[in-house]
Amino acid sequence: MTSSEKIVPSEETGCLRCGTCCQKGGPTLHREDQDLVERGLLPVKLLYTIRTGEIIRDPIQEKTLFADSDIIKLRGTGRDWRCTLFNVDEKRCEKYDNRPAECRAMECWDTSEIEAMYEHDRLTRQDLLGAVSGLWEFIIEHETTCDYRKLRHLSDEMLNGKNGKVADQIMEMVRFDAAARELSVEKAGTDPEHLDFLFGRPMSNMISGFGLRLQKDGHKTTVTLDPSQRSIV
């Protein structure tokens, strides 16, 4: 091969560095990524947790599902929710040498490896925080009180015409979630950027997928039905 000859990347020879996979959202973390998090190579502020029972879009099955366990992911950014580590201008990963397992397995021309690993050995909050006394117990209390499976049941009851106390129970969950975040910051000194990892994304932002919305009337906030936003019928 002469110096003027080049191998042009293709589906057969390798990555084009087009960034398409990176612009479809951040990867899910697996247990082999635990060391990257614990050493700060994947900072906690860049992570968020999808909690059990939360509504998700499964990219492998290409359908909307309820999460059956914790799913820890790298944040997205921008309107297209591209991976926060993707440098758009240079079309490269800012943490390429320490990229997560899914990124190492990702080959857009042959997705068999990433499909095989996708649902297995996912990293959980318990893997990272289970030994942190006090904090882990608080996360469990939050998880129990703000259980998305319970929210799903209550939203179904509202859709079936049972309002009143059902709506009050949902509001109690939303308030507890908000209070847990506020308490963590004010009393425990938690970095606000870590809250979406510790407690998942705010319930006040997530209930729309269950066909609900918050309605403010002066100083009072109530929960009402909004079936048009329901993600899973």
For CA atoms 201, 233, 208, 215, the dihedral sign is negative
Decide if 32 contacts 117 (C-beta within 8 A). Answer: no
Tokens coding 194: 């870590």
Annotated domain spans of the chain? 22-124, 130-229
Angle between helices 165-186 and 135-145 (to 10 degrees): 160
pLDDT tens per residue, range 141-177: 999 999 999 999 999 999 888 777 999 999 999 999 9
Q: Give the model's pLDDT for residue 130.
A: 97
60 vs 213, more confident:
213
Quote the pTM value: 0.88
Structure tokens that stand for 187 in this block: 């009393």
